[in-house]
Structure 1
């Protein structure tokens, strides 16, 4: 089994629990690095780790809700709960970015020398290594489980790694050149970077809540299955898809000869649905039977009203 397969075999809840533990450890390391050096750049890095912790806790709660089975009030399940996790993480990032910018401006106006830079940078690099390893494993698992919450948390961790790398380089330049204002510039750059990431997460979660169509690769799989089941007397139309968290849904009409028995038509429909759901993990297929000479005209304007 490859490393990717091993990572994918781990359920999202386990990865998110690990994320909570790693976030707690990195907060300690980065806060100590800031306390030793007095660098506002390292302080901004520590503040982003606080967002990691809050986001991981919220993501774990949402994943648990998403795993609940369908019930009378939620016949399609609770899978969209993961999008709330991603939106929360994006908003938390935006708040952290604004706080960092405020701190950066204050430090720019009131520069201060740095102390014990070497030790502080070592602690920051160690924290980044932990985040990088965790993010890689979470991304592999997110692609297997199609978990928006897990992917959102992982991509935030990747951003945190790049942020820390920028902070390390910036603080190194401050120590080398003696230009204290660079510390504030680094913190501001960190804020702008995570501001961009936060906006991206909020946008992606909003698209998920808007019932967007399935990914291009999944759409191609559906079309391939239908082409493989092609029959001169059978045709498919009004094929619509949507995604909700880890679930994918496809609805369509299947036209069969009017003289077919209901048993024969229903048996074919069942085989098509099974073929689709077998080809696309997590897919739910729903097919409406219609005679070959009957068309279903959907009134989009009326439906929209």
Structure 2
């Protein structure tokens, strides 16, 4: 199964799963009347919308390059990730609204054992799914899939906080702990949403690859640049699942075009093997026009 198909499948299954989690959480709220559980359910409502957006955008990002988009549609995933971050913030604000309204007249939940059991089951399912999405997002270099996983993980954090708040309220008899815990959880969700947004905006601004990936690129160049003299002006940018790399390759002035082309082919293949999804642009220069550079043994 190719990477695009696997990513699309994961994004699609997030839709029915998020709907099922929403149903469980609203059932937990229905049997207890807890404002914290209602807040948790409201965040899951946002999760459903986010899952649909992620699936649609990942499908668009997988489209091949065309005349209007010669470098592909990869950046669409960052748009989805930004929307995910905004929706996380919206969910947090909805939670605060519900919790503040309940501060004036807090009440202890009804049928707490059943409600907590239902919510706990939803949290466990969500946690498994969140780590599955995050791991797949990193493996397939999908910002949208990773952001969706982080969104679901923020939902898990909400559920844990809600469960703790309800247990404290039941143990102490202080019903106000229910909405107070909901507000504390919302603050944490706001922070998570900000992290998702800032990371995604960075991707839209053509952020360079990580230090580890840059070291991988340099190692591949050094190991497969036999015949060249040095390289310089190494640039990189991350665009969703694609990595664009460009650098200048200095060769002896007497080298033929065919020989220089063979070196470029070898380097492109080595970099793509070391960094799947990489696309290279190499500018060849004769040594007579280059006074300095970084040796290929870097």
Do both share a fold (TM > 0.5)? yes
Q: Which runs of 4+ in 1 moved over 4 A?
A: 230-233
Q: Distance in 1 between matches of 2:164 and 2:228?
A: 67
CA RMSD of aligned residues (A): 1.8
3-state SS of the aligned residue for 2:289? coil
* 1:146-200 deviation digits (Å, cap 9, x = unpaired): 1111111111212211221111111011111110110110110121111111111
| Structure 1 residue 124 displacement after superposition | 0.2
Contact 2:228 2:263 in 1 (8 A): no
Q: Out of 251, 258, 262, which is 1:256 matched to? A: 251
Please identify, of 13-22 and 198-207, the stretch whose mean Cα deviation from structure 2 is larger. Answer: 13-22
Q: Which moved more, 1:157-166 or 1:60-69?
A: 157-166
Alignment pair present for 1:73 and 2:73: no
Aligned match of 1:218:
213
Say if 1:83 and 1:149, in contact at 8 Å, map to a contact too. yes
Cα contact 2:82–2:201 (8 A) shared by 1: yes
The question of whether the paired residues in 1 share the 8 Å contact of 2:224 and 2:266 is answered with no
Task: For 1:126 and 1:63, locate their aligned partners in 2 and report how far apart those are by CA, in whole Å.
Answer: 29
Aligned 8 A contact 1:256 1:292 in 2: yes
Using the TM superposition, name which of 274-283 and 66-75 deviates more.
274-283
| Shift in Å, 1:27 | 0.7
TM-score (norm 1): 0.91
Q: Work out the CA distance in 1 between the residues paired with 2:230 and 2:291.
A: 13
Tell me, yes or no, if the aligned pair for 2:126 and 2:156 is still in contact at 8 Å: yes
Q: CA deviation at 1:230?
A: 4.7
Inter-partner Cα distance in structure 2 for 1:144 and 1:200: 20
Equivalent position of 1:145 in the other structure? 140
Map 1:138-177 onto structure 2 (within 5 A): 138-177=133-172
Query: What is the TM-score with the length of structure 2 in the denominator?
Result: 0.93
CA distance in 2, matches of 1:96, 1:267: 54
Q: Do the aligned residues in 1 keep the contact of 2:226 with 2:263 (CA within 8 Å)?
A: no
Range that drifts further, 171-180 or 203-212: 171-180
Q: State the secondary structure of the residue aligned to 1:251.
A: strand
Q: Which residue of 1 aligns with 2:295?
A: none
Matched residue count: 291
Q: Give the 5 Å matches for 1:1-305.
A: 11-231=6-226, 234-295=229-290
How far apart are 1:56 and its partner, in Å? Answer: 0.7
How far the C-alpha of 1:279 sits from its partner, in A, is 1.6
Give the drift of 1:140.
2.3
- 1:62 and 1:85 in contact (8 A); partners too: yes
1:242 shift after superposition: 0.5
Aligned mates of 2:241, 2:73 — CA distance in 1: 10
